[in-house]
A and B are shown apart, each in its own frame.
Chain A
């Protein structure tokens, strides 16, 4: 059981480049989300999805796009990378049934924008 899989694990981008962070889960979870982690800031929610075709913004959505065409996948797109987007990104998923269910995190993606 792979759980939540994020790719790539490490990436260096130049300012202005675009890229997509991939996230896939094989647990048939309805809910998926993206967080970013910055030093001293904890994890902050970027975007989330409550099911295929439904997405919404979190606390820090600017500069990021998401889509949810399938239950399994929830990619995060950086359209024009900026140094302020240097961070560690975590994808997470959770079963639909109750908000108290455990949230499963991917292993993280380390992104550096130069």
Chain B
């Protein structure tokens, strides 16, 4: 069975602070995919990143960066110099690599960035 744990239910920061959202996963698959989605107050799910289990390189996209560590089964997400527009719920998700596999979501972390 797959499991995704986002231990931080809610995080509050002041604008321009850096913030890291934690994600720990469990899977028996040797090949799998990890995702991060953003859900702003408007409610839609916005795809942020997909990472293959064989690719442990960190990724940076503007103010966003992701740290994937198979040794600790973690896929953490860092926002540098946070902005009010970053306020949202962020979901980490896991998909197995064999054939069709559904997406297992964590419970989400609500990030509130204050001006």
Contacts and interface: CB of A to CB of B under 8 A. Distances in A.
Contacts of B98: 99
Nearest to A30: B100
B83 to A, nearest CB: 24
A58 B95 CA distance: 14
Interface residues of B, number: 28
Grouping DSSP codes into helix (H, G, I), strand (E, B) and loop, the A interface class, with mixed when no group exceeds half, is: strand
A104 B100 CA distance: 15
Interface string A72-90: 0000000000000000101
Contact of A43 (B50, B52, B96, B105): B105
B50 A45 contact: no
Nearest to B53: A100
Contacts of A40: 9, 107
A47 B20 CA distance: 33
A105 B100 contact: no
Nearest to B51: A100
A102 B102 contact: no
Contacts of A96: 100
From A31, A48, A99, A110, residue with most partner B Cβ within 10 Å: A99
B33 A99 contact: yes
Interface of B: 4, 6, 9, 33, 35, 37, 43-45, 47, 50, 52, 91, 93, 95-108
